[in-house]
């Protein structure tokens, strides 16, 4: 059904400006009646961070920045979705154009800079859908002109603690100047201390929400050592590896590859998967990981799992493959499990880490 839809929608969407095409897609998902995805194979179900996932494939942050379409995405077959990044106050983001498709390379470059409508708008949308259930994470960040960035993340926890399935602390977007400095050990330690304090405080009167840390794929290995040490010492519930990259692999063929911003999609796959395996090796089982970056097929999703991911997210590949990709990946994961005689995803997590190190 979605494959049929993709065949008509994708050429149309590719013929217009990338940001407009994105906005049209979100608009359509908000309003159009959608086919419900078939029920997931029980082999794909898993419990992670104390949450029940019908399948391990999630929509990555950035697609639904303002929490407009979480239910549409769950209905299309995603096992979970992550809204945001959301900042306390609305902000317009960087000047347009700021989103570029790399058709030949099957990649995307964006320099949005956290354009979003702020906490209050997202909260009122999430409140109206809260009783419907499903795993909907909230990705929190800091306003560009904030004088106390950590306070912006704390405000995110306070605002969404009653309705977020989990939180992602995004310190890895390349398009807010200085944001990635929060990955530096002492800044990260202070940030996580304040964020986790706020979470624990909220948990005294409500549910305890898992807090995940999302990192860049451009960290040096010594930087990754520090990040994982701080994350373990502070007791985060998980990590997401990775955000977009500022690097440009030599293999890029598209002219548009020179545009400034974060690169995602197929050209990010190898870098992000190596970072995932390196992170897995350092975490030593203390918490689960979400693998993201360049997942565009069942094989790529399976590779993330074998490189250490318990859950997998994607975004950019949908630009080229359409929503039918979600069902194809899930069917492929079931086939991979069956071919190996495994009864759950957990059994495959991290089994090929050494190949990536």
Ligand X SMILES: Cc1cc2nc3c(=O)[nH]c(=O)nc-3n(C[C@H](O)[C@H](O)[C@H](O)COP(=O)(O)O)c2cc1C
Residues forming the site for ligand X (CB under 6 A): 60-62, 65, 84-85, 99, 108, 110, 112, 139, 170, 173, 214, 243-244, 264-265, 268, 292-295, 314-317
Query: Which is nearest to 311 in space by CA: 66, 103, 48?
Result: 48
**Distance of closest approach, residue 131 Cβ to ligand X, in angstroms:** 26
Our CB check for ligand X shows the closer of 53 and 112 to be 112
**Distance of closest approach, residue 322 Cβ to ligand X, in angstroms:** 14
Distance from the Cα of residue 202 to its chain's centroid: 24
Cβ within 8 Å of residue 308, ≥6 positions away: 276, 277, 279, 280, 281, 289, 291, 349, 350, 353
Our CB check for ligand X shows the closer of 195 and 268 to be 268
Q: How far is CA 283 from CA 222, 226, 248, 287, 309, in A?
A: 14, 11, 28, 7, 12
Which helix (H) or strand (E) covers residue 292, if one does? strand 289-292
Say how far apart CA 189 and CA 231 lie, in whole Å.
8
- Residue corresponding to tokens 């217009």: 16
Our CB check for ligand X shows the closer of 101 and 339 to be 101
Is 173 catalytic? The answer is yes
Say how far apart CA 166 and CA 313 lie, in whole Å.
15
Nearest residue (beta carbon) to ligand X: 62
Active-site choice (146, 172, 173, 316): 173
Our CB check for ligand X shows the closer of 43 and 259 to be 259
Token reading at 198: 């706020």
Torsion of CA 328, 31, 75, 4, to 10 degrees: -30
**Distance of closest approach, residue 46 Cβ to ligand X, in angstroms:** 20
**Distance of closest approach, residue 341 Cβ to ligand X, in angstroms:** 29
Our CB check for ligand X shows the closer of 276 and 345 to be 276
Task: Work out the number of other CB atoms within 10 angstroms of the CB of residue 345.
Answer: 24
Q: How far is CA 272 from CA 117, 230, 276, 328, in A?
A: 29, 20, 6, 22
**Distance of closest approach, residue 33 Cβ to ligand X, in angstroms:** 26
**Distance of closest approach, residue 168 Cβ to ligand X, in angstroms:** 6
Our CB check for ligand X shows the closer of 115 and 349 to be 115
Token reading at 259: 């545009």
Which residues are catalytic, by number? 173
């Amino acid at each position: 059904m979605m494959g049929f839809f993709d065949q008509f929608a994708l050429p149309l969407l590719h013929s217009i400006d990338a940001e407009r095409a994105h906005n049209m897609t979100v608009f359509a998902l908000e309003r159009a009646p959608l086919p419900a995805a078939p029920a997931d194979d029980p082999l794909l179900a898993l419990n992670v961070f104390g949450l029940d996932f019908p399948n391990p494939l999630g929509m990555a942050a950035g697609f639904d920045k303002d929490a407009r379409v979480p239910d549409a995405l769950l209905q299309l077959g995603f096992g979970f979705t992550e809204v945001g990044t959301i900042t306390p106050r609305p902000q317009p983001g960087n000047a347009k154009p700021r989103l570029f498709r790399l058709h030949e390379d099957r990649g995307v470059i964006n320099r949005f800079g956290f354009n979003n409508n702020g906490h209050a708008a997202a909260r009122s949308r999430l409140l109206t859908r809260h009783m419907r259930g499903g795993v909907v994470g909230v990705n929190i960040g800091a306003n560009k002109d904030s004088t106390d960035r950590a306070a912006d993340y704390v405000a995110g926890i306070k605002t969404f603690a009653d309705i977020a399935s989990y939180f992602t602390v995004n310190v890895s977007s390349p398009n807010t100047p200085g944001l990635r400095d929060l990955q530096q050990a002492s800044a990260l330690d202070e940030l996580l201390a304040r964020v986790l304090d706020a979470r624990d405080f909220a948990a005294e009167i409500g549910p305890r929400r898992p807090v995940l840390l999302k990192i860049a794929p451009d960290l040096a290995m010594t930087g990754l050592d520090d990040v994982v040490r701080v994350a373990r010492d502070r007791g985060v519930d998980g990590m997401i590896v990775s955000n977009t990259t500022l690097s440009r692999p030599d293999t890029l063929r598209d002219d548009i590859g020179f545009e400034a911003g974060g690169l995602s999609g197929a050209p990010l796959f190898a870098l992000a998967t190596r970072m995932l395996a390196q992170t897995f090796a350092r975490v030593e089982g203390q918490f689960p990981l979400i693998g993201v970056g360049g997942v565009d097929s069942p094989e790529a999703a399976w590779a993330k799992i074998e490189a250490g991911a318990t859950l997998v997210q994607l975004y950019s590949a949908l630009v080229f493959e359409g929503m039918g990709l979600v069902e194809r990946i899930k069917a492929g994961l079931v086939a991979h499990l069956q071919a190996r005689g495994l009864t759950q995803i957990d059994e495959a997590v991290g089994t090929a880490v050494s190949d990536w190190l």
